[in-house]
Amino acid sequence: MKKVLVPTDFSENAYNAIRYAIQLYAGQKTTFYLLHTYTPPIFQVEYLFYSPSQVGLGDPYQVRAIKQLRELQERLLHEFDNPEHTFVTRAVFNTLTDEILSMTLNEGIDLVVMGTKGVTGAKEILFGTNTAQVIGKTTCPVIAVPSGFEFEVPKRILFPTDYEINFDEEQLQQLLNISKNYDSNVDIIHVSAGYDLTNDQGQNKQTLKSVLDKVNHEFHDLPDQGVIEAINLFQTKKKMDLLVMVRNKHTFLERLFVEPVIKKIGININIPFMVLPYTDMK
């Protein structure tokens, strides 16, 4: 059974991301964790010195959040009648990033799906602070869904890489799962800097070929240019449905996931963006 964590602030942007997650896993037995975190203003004295419940006041923030989560669950059950899906709601006094990190560990979460904040009048992903922090810190794959994005079957998946890391099947499991489930084609793009691949890069490429052997895939070598420019240009030639990248601290790609860069970067793309964490297996 898949375990998918979907944070919500009860906005339509967050609801849209939840809808995407439900549709993406429509054919798989999945538990969706609907999470809302809250941090009351510091001027609320009862939160500075003791919990409201300790003096019999109850926690109005939690009560309101639980009510909203219940209403959200009812809305989802009304819109999506899928016996393969179950929902668990959770309202927690914590920061979003810390709670996601905790739940990922304690609940064995497979994937986090959350919304992004779109730029008015532009087809760009602009990451808000929460999304950027989650992507930068979590050990779990994250899919960021652009505001207003309507679900489309991910038939083509764009996967940029510099071959600087040694891939293994476990680290690419969520990519493989989606590709197998939808018979997707994975388009691997590599930007050449005018030099041949090093021995390590060549070996990593062969390992990646082996890992992707059971799914449809194509390798593309692109002329020397910026990674973002390559991603944008490639999409003008072939329609992509999902962008997947690995967050690796030793390569250029890591700079995409460090604030404030992630909030400013202009990826001219209006499709979901999956970020896979990387753990050096050596």
The rounded distance, in Å, linking the Cα atoms of 261 and 145 is 19
Q: Which of 7-11, 120-124, 158-162, 244-248 has the lowest mean pLDDT?
A: 120-124
Rounded mean pLDDT, 161-187:
92
When pLDDT is cut at 50, 70 and 90, the band that residue 155 belongs to is: very high
Q: Is residue 92 part of a domain?
A: yes
In the chain, the percentage of residues whose pLDDT exceeds 70 is 79
93 occurs within a structural domain: yes
Domain extent, residue 46, equals 2-145
Report the distance separating Cα 82 and Cα 5, nearest Å: 17
Same-domain status, 118 and 211: no
CB-side neighbour CA atoms (13 Å) of 88: 13
Say yes or no: 190 and 139 in one domain.
no
Q: Is the pLDDT of residue 56 over 70?
A: no
Q: What is the number of other CB atoms lying within 10 angstroms of the CB of residue 38?
A: 16
Same domain for 248 and 170? yes
* SS3 readout for the chain: CEEEEEECCCCHHHHHHHHHHHHHCCCCCEEEEEEEEECCCCCCHHHHHCCHHHHCCCCHHHHHHHHHHHHHHHHHHHHCCCCCEEEEEEEEECCHHHHHHHHHHHHCCCEEEEECEECCCCCCEECCHHHHHHHHHCCCCEEEECCCCCCCCCCEEEEECCCCCCCCCCCCHHHHHHHHHHCCEEEEEEECCCCCCCHHHHHHHHHHHHHHHHCEEEEEEECCCCHHHHHHHHHHHCCCCEEEEEECCCCHHHHHHCCCHHHHCCCCCCCCEEEEECCCCC
In a domain, 273, yes or no: no
Summarize the confidence of residues 6-32 as an average pLDDT.
95
Most confident range (mean pLDDT) of 85-89, 189-193, 242-246, 247-251 is 85-89
Q: For 197-249, how does the pLDDT look when each residue is reduced to its tens digit (9 = 90+)?
A: 899 999 999 999 999 999 999 999 888 777 777 888 888 888 999 999 888 76
Same domain, 113 and 224: no
pLDDT band at residue 138 under the 50/70/90 scheme? confident
Q: Which of 44-48, 127-131, 256-260 has the highest mean pLDDT?
A: 127-131
Find all residues with CB under 8 Å of 43, minimum gap 6, and list them.
Answer: none
pLDDT of amino acid 233: 82
Same domain, 84 and 49: yes
pTM of the predicted structure, to 2 decimals: 0.85
- Let me know whether 111 and 228 are in one domain: no
Residue 282 lies in a domain: no
* Other CB atoms within 10 Å distance of the CB of residue 9: 15
Q: In terms of domains, do 11 and 136 share one?
A: yes
The total number of structural domains in the chain stands at 2
Which residues neighbour 234 within 8 Å (Cβ) at sequence distance 6 or greater?
158, 187, 189, 220, 222, 240
Same domain, 163 and 89: no
Do 167 and 246 have their domain in common?
A: yes
Shared domain for 205 and 232, answered yes or no, is yes
pLDDT(97) > 80:
yes
Task: Based on the fold, state whether residues 90 and 182 are members of the same structural domain.
Answer: no
Q: What is the pLDDT of residue 211?
A: 95
Last residue of a domain, one of 113, 145, 177: 145
Residue 250 is predicted with a pLDDT of: 53
Which pLDDT belongs to residue 41?
A: 58
CATH at 123: 3.40.50.620
Residue 264 banded pLDDT, cuts 50, 70, 90: very low
Using a 10 angstrom Cβ sphere, with 0-12 exposed, 13-18 middle and 19 or more buried, the burial of residue 40 is middle
Which is higher by pLDDT, 106 or 278? 106
Would you say residue 262 lies in a domain? yes
Q: Which residues of 171-194 are buried (b: 16+ CB within 10 A; e: fewer)?
A: bbebbbbbbeebebbbbbbbbeee
Q: Does residue 281 lie in a domain region? A: no
146 upstream amide cis, omega within 30 of 0? no
**Within a domain: 96:** yes
129 pLDDT more than 70: no
When pLDDT is cut at 50, 70 and 90, the band that residue 137 belongs to is: confident
pLDDT of the residue at 46: 52
Q: Is 133:139 a contact under the CB 8 Å cutoff?
A: no
Residue finishing a domain among 145, 169, 204: 145
CA separation for the pair 26, 52 (Å, rounded):
41
140 and 164 both lie in a single domain: no
- Please state, rounded to an integer, the average pLDDT across all residues of the chain: 82
Domain boundary among 122, 145, 168: 145
- 95 assigned to some structural domain: yes
